[in-house]
């Protein structure tokens, strides 16, 4: 594996290896001194064409905990605003001896394009509506941890309901492949205008009725609703969305009693998720902060596996 571009193109064995490595990394994060020398002298560049707080910070911390140098490039401060192509930006970064590029971009497929022009590993930190593979991995790690499946990351028998704006969600597109490759059953549920065409040809079940989507689910994953969707004519109002598809104590009651609630953030409290659910009021098992913590471990695992392999090949 040279790059991590999508979970669709990542095998179940590779996903399990990444997750097992992330478990070891998580152990490092629990130490008082969170630093190992694994990637000392190596340079990780995060190239973000879209604003992001948690993903970028997560990658930066992951690099630093392994003693790599992390350089952040955001579009506003770079020559991209002068019209530089992605190809030339990649070539330049490689020339200044970056060892790995983490890219976030608003165009689906941008990470694939970057990988085509770069000899160094490319990690997709979210490309348009396409995929967000490290989010998919951290979600799998979070579920496996809570459900006691860390020995082999076998998620069979578990039903994960992903609720909301599926058409525009790269998180949902990575989770389809990541979770089903580990054996979970995945449901997509949301308004018809936010379900992509032919979604039922994915290895999942699809519905528009929230009760049907949530019934007996082991995990409810709530997606962020971009508030401009109503302006595009996809929804009448946020009020109606919250009433019909919002996740609250009542809708959660349809799921299994020990249901886990997840959200990739940032949340619109009161729209796709009720504040009480997000905060775990009344015994709700909301894992949003666990997801963030697992995100750092997963990104350490990705950097470690891709960059140390690159080094072995270079030595050979």
Partner 1 sequence: MRLVLRGGRVLDPSQDMDQVADLVICDGVVEAIQEPDTAQGDTVRDVAGLLVTPGLIDLHVHLREPGYEYKEDIESGTRAAAAGGFTAVCCMPNTNPAIDTPAVVRQILERAESVGYARVYPVASLTRAMAGDQLSEIADLKAAGACAVSDDAFPVQNAETMRRGMEYCAQFGLTVMTHCEDKTMTEGGAVNEGYTSTVMGMPAMPAAAEEIGIARNILLSRLTGCRVHLLHVSTAVGVELLRWARDCGIPVSGETAPHYLTLTDEACMGFDTNAKMNPPLRADADLQALRQALAAGILDAIATDHAPHARHEKEVEFDRAPFGIVGLETAFGLVYTHLVLKNILSLGQAVHLMSSGPARVLDLPGGTLRPGSPADVSVFDLTEEWVVDPEQFRSKSRNTPFAGWKLTGKPRFTVVGGRIVEP
- Where on the chain is the footprint of partner 1 (CB under 8 A)? 8, 85-87, 105, 107-110, 112-113, 127-131, 170, 173, 196-199, 201-202
Distance, CA of 91 to chain centre: 26
Least spacing, CB of residue 3 vs partner 1, in Å: 13
Least spacing, CB of residue 130 vs partner 1, in Å: 4
Pairing of strands 122-127, 43-48: unpaired
Looking at beta carbons only, is 179 or 300 nearer to partner 1?
A: 179
Least spacing, CB of residue 213 vs partner 1, in Å: 18
Least spacing, CB of residue 38 vs partner 1, in Å: 32
Looking at beta carbons only, is 23 or 199 nearer to partner 1?
A: 199
Looking at beta carbons only, is 79 or 85 nearer to partner 1?
A: 85
Query: Which two structure tokens, joined as six digits, stand for 231?
Result: 């302006």
Q: Among candidates 212, 296, 303, which has minimal Cα distance to 4?
A: 303
Q: What's the CA angle centered on 159, arms 153 and 165, to 5 degrees?
A: 110
CA distance 299 to 125: 10
CA distance 215 to 77: 48
Least spacing, CB of residue 72 vs partner 1, in Å: 21
Looking at beta carbons only, is 144 or 167 nearer to partner 1?
A: 167
Least spacing, CB of residue 164 vs partner 1, in Å: 15
The answer to whether residues 67 and 39 touch, using CB atoms and an 8 Å cutoff, is yes
Query: Which two structure tokens, joined as six digits, stand for 3?
Result: 């790059």
Looking at beta carbons only, is 112 or 285 nearer to partner 1?
A: 112
**Cβ atoms within 10 Å of 7's Cβ, excluding its own:** 29
Q: Can you say whether residue 40 is alpha, beta or left, with left for phi > 0 and alpha for psi between -120 and 50 degrees?
A: beta
Distances (CA, A) of 118 to 62, 87, 88: 22, 8, 10
Looking at beta carbons only, is 106 or 253 nearer to partner 1?
A: 106
């Amino acid at each position: 594996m040279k790059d991590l571009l999508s979970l669709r193109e990542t095998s179940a064995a590779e996903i399990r290896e990444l997750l097992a490595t992330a478990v070891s990394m998580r152990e490092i994060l629990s130490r008082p001194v969170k630093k190992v020398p694994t990637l000392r002298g190596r340079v990780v560049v995060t190239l973000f064409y879209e604003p992001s707080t948690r993903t970028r910070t997560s990658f930066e911390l992951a690099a630093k905990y392994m003693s790599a140098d992390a350089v952040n490039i955001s579009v506003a401060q770079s020559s991209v605003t002068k019209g530089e192509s992605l190809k030339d930006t990649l070539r330049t970064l490689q020339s200044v001896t970056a060892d790995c590029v983490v890219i976030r971009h608003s165009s689906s497929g941008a990470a694939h394009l970057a990988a085509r022009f770069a000899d160094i590993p490319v990690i997709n930190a979210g490309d348009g509506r396409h995929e967000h593979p490290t989010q998919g991995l951290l979600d799998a790690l979070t579920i496996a941890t809570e459900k006691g499946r860390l020995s082999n990351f076998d998620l069979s028998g578990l039903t994960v309901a992903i609720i909301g704006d599926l058409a525009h969600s790269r998180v949902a597109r990575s989770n389809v492949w990541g979770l089903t490759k580990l054996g979970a059953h995945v449901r997509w549920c949301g308004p018809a205008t936010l379900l992509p065409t032919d979604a039922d040809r994915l290895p999942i079940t699809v519905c528009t009725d929230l009760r049907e989507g949530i019934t007996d689910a082991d995990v409810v994953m709530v997606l962020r609703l971009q508030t401009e969707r109503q302006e595009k004519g996809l929804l009448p109002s946020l009020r109606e969305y919250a009433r019909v598809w919002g996740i609250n104590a009542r809708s959660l009651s349809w799921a299994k009693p020990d249901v886990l609630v997840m959200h990739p953030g940032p949340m619109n409290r009161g729209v796709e998720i009720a504040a009480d659910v997000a905060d775990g009021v009344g015994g709700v098992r909301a894992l949003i902060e666990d997801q963030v913590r697992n995100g750092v471990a997963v990104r350490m695992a990705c950097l470690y596996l891709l960059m140390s392999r690159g080094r072995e090949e270079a030595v050979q």
